[in-house]
Amino acid sequence: MKSYTGEQLIAEGYKPAPAEYFTGKAYLKSFVQPDDNTNCIISDVLFEPGTRNNWHTHGSNQILMIKEGTCYYQEEGKPVQKIEAGGVINILPGVKHWHGASPDTAMIHTAIGINTEKGIVNWLEPVTDEQYKTEV
């Protein structure tokens, strides 16, 4: 995977992700926003190495398509999974989970949120270092 700088990402249309929902640095590039005609949201998210988002849930399905790197993904009460580039995760409504990059490689996924009229995201507590470093 190529390396990225913040300046390159911003030039490519990415914006820094809200720091209160991430441990580490992440960048967002929005493609589709919900409106009166479209009830989905589609964005690319780049996670720098070791970056992960907080635990969270969605009102409807979220689909993650891993484009580059290795995604760490965990649902509450289950072990952390490694999902390689090309993998797809279909997260069901209300499932508490988190996702992020492996410790040594950046990761990019396309996030698709459907039925956004049911809510987009419910942010919860940060993922601890112990949870993140669980043997994968």
3-state SS, one letter per residue, for the chain: CCCCCHHHHHHCCCEECCHHHEECCEEEEEEECCCCCCCEEEEEEEECCCCEECCEECCCCEEEEEEECEEEEEECCCCCEEEECCCEEEECCCCCEEEEECCCCCEEEEEEEECHHHCCCEECCCCCHHHHCCCC
- Kindly report, residue by residue over 107-125, the tens digit of the pLDDT: 999 999 999 889 899 999 9
Q: In the structure, what pLDDT confidence band is assigned to residue 135 with cuts at 50, 70 and 90? A: low
Structural domains of the chain sorted by starting position, each given as residue range(s) with its CATH number in brackets: 6-132 (2.60.120.10)
- Kindly report, residue by residue over 11-69, the tens digit of the pLDDT: 788 999 999 999 999 999 999 999 989 999 999 999 999 999 999 999 999 999 999 99
Contact 48, 106 (CB under 8 A): yes
